[in-house]
Amino acid sequence: MAPTQAMRVAGDRPRRRKHVPGQLIVRLKPAAARQIAAASLQAPTSRALMAAMPDDVRGPIDFLRDNFGLQSMKPLFVVGDDEAPAQPQAMALAAVHRSIARSATAPPREALAGFQIVQLKDGKVNAGVLKRLRASRAVDLVEPVPNRWLSAAADPMKIRQWGLRAIRWFDRPRPGAGRVHVAVLDSGVDAEHPDLVDAIEEYRHDGNGPRDFLGHGTHVSGTIAAVVNNSVGIAGLANCRLHCWKVFDDPKRAGDDENFNFDFYSKALAAALDSNIKVINLSIGGEDHSKTEATAFAELIEAGVVISTAMGNEFEDGNPKEYPAGYADTIGVGAVDESHRRASFSNTGKHIKLVAPGVNILSTVPRVKASFADHTSYDSWPGTSMATPHVTGAAALVYINKTKSRTAGLAVASRLIATATKLPAMRGKDFTPEYGAGLLDVAAALGRVKPARKSGRKTAKKTTKAKPARKGRK
C-alpha cells in the first residue's frame, strides 16, 4: 500500500472497516439458479417470471426487500454487465429474476456461477441477517462484502532505482516479456504517461472516469512495466503487456479509503480467466476472508495464473493477517528497506512467501495535481504495495520459458521462492515469518547466476524504522 499526504499513519487513525457497508454476497445453489435461468427463457412477462421463482428463493428476497430496502442485485464475475443500477425504491422481483438468471449462465467458469452482489438501503448487516438468509434451502453462500484497501506505503532515473539492484535485475541479460500479459487491479492508471503509454494493452475503468486520483495504480504499473531504454524516466522490470482495471471508485473527498468496488473487482478476475493473463498484481488487502474471492482465486490458479499480493502495512497496528495474501498459493510479499531489513510497517506471518524492496521506491505517478504530488511524473513511495510489483515483474520474466500447462503458474511461483536470497536477519533459516524464503532474486530465478545465500549489505541488528507507509491503501 502507498500513503497519500491526506491519509493518517500507523497509530493515528481508526481501524478500517472489514466489510463494505450495506452490501452482501449471496450465491444460490446451482439447481435453483439453473431453474430460474430456464424460466427466463420461457416466461416473456414480469408476472410469469415472478410466478416461476421458487419459494426458497423468493423468501430471502422478500426478507431483504421488506426489511432492508433491497436496491439492486448484480451478477458477479460477469464481464460487461452493467445492468440493475440501484433503485430509489425496492427492486422489482422481475429484475431480481433476470439478475439471477444472468449469474447462472454468464460467468466464465461453473465454479463462479450464481454469485450476486446485493446492495441494501437500510439496516446493518449482522450475524442475525446472515443466519436468516443461510437458512434457505436454495442458498449456497451468504457473506459480507470484504473491504480491500491499497497497500502503499537507459533511463535517466534508473540509477535511483535501488530496488532493481537489490534484486539483481541488472545482473543478467533480460529476455523480452512482450508475450506475457499482466493484470493490475488497482486505483487506475495514467494511460498516457510517457513511460507507460507503450506498455498498456487495455485499461478498463467501468463506471468511473479514467483518471487515477490516488496515483497508486500508476506507481505499481511503472515498477512492473515502465518502458526500458526509451530515454524517459525509469525502467520497469518486464516489458510485458499491461491490462489495468480500476477497482476503486473515484473518491468523494480527500483521504477517502472506503471506495473498494467488489463488483468491478469480480469482473476483472473473470476477465483474467477469459483472456491470456498470466500474472495478476494485487497491491491491496483487507482483514476479512471471503469464500467468494477465494473461489475466484482457486479458478485462476488452476488456470495457471500467478497472483502476487501485498502482505499489508499494519505491523504497528496489530499485525493482522490480511487477504488476499492469506489465501493458499498466492505469493504474499513483504517489504524490505535499502539495508535489506524488514520495513517497520511490513506485516509478518506464516503465509508470507518472500520479500522485495518496498521503501523509497521510485516509480511513475499521474501527471496531475493531486494529494500525492504536484504536477510530477515520478515519486518515491513506501509500502508492501511497492514491493509486490517487483515480484509481479519477475514472475512475467520467468513465465517466458514456461509451458502453457495449468501447473505453469505454480511452477513460476515456486521458482521465485526457491531462488530467493537468504538474508542475514534470517539467521541461517530457510524461512522466517518476517522474510519468508528471503529477498527476491531475479538473476537466480532466470537461471543466469547461482542463488545468493546472503545479502551483500551490512545491517544493524534492529529493524530499520522506515518512513511510514501510506495507510489508506496497501
> Where in the sequence numbering do the catalytic residues fall?
186, 216, 385
* Closest among 448, 386, 455, 452 to 174, alpha carbons compared: 448
Angle at 307 between CA 303 and CA 313, to 5 degrees: 160
335 within 8 A of 382, measured Cβ to Cβ: yes
From CA 244, how far away is CA 223, in angstroms rounded? 14
Strand order in the sheet with 19-28: 70-75, 115-120, 19-28, 139-146
Hey, how many other C-beta atoms are within 10 angstroms of the C-beta on 178? 13
Q: Measure the CA–CA gap between 209 and 84, rounded to whole angstroms.
A: 20
Residues 6+ apart with CB under 8 A from 47: none
Letter for the amino acid at 43? Answer: A
261, 247 contact by CB (below 8 A)? yes
Query: Which of 95, 100, 106, 84 is CA-nearest to residue 35?
Result: 100
DSSP 111: G
Place of cell 516479456: 177
Nearest one of 383, 320, 317 to 10, comparing CA atoms: 317
**330, 311 contact by CB (below 8 A):** no
Cis peptide before 324 (omega within 30 of 0): yes
**Radius of gyration of the chain measured on its C-alpha atoms:** 22
Residue 44 CB coordination number (10 Å): 9
**What are the DSSP E strand ranges found in 153-305?**
181-186, 200-204, 241-246, 277-282, 284-285
What are the CA-CA distances from residue 85 to residues 75, 88, 90, 265, 388 (Å)?
12, 10, 12, 17, 34
Q: Is 50 helix (H, G, I), strand (E, B) or coil?
A: helix
Instruction: Please return the burial class of 367, using the count of CB atoms within 10 Å of its CB with bins 0-12, 13-18 and 19+.
Output: middle
Q: Could you tell me if 1 and 474 are in contact, meaning their C-beta atoms sit under 8 angstroms apart? A: yes
The torsion angle over the Cα atoms of residues 118, 121, 124 and 127, rounded to 10 degrees, is: -30
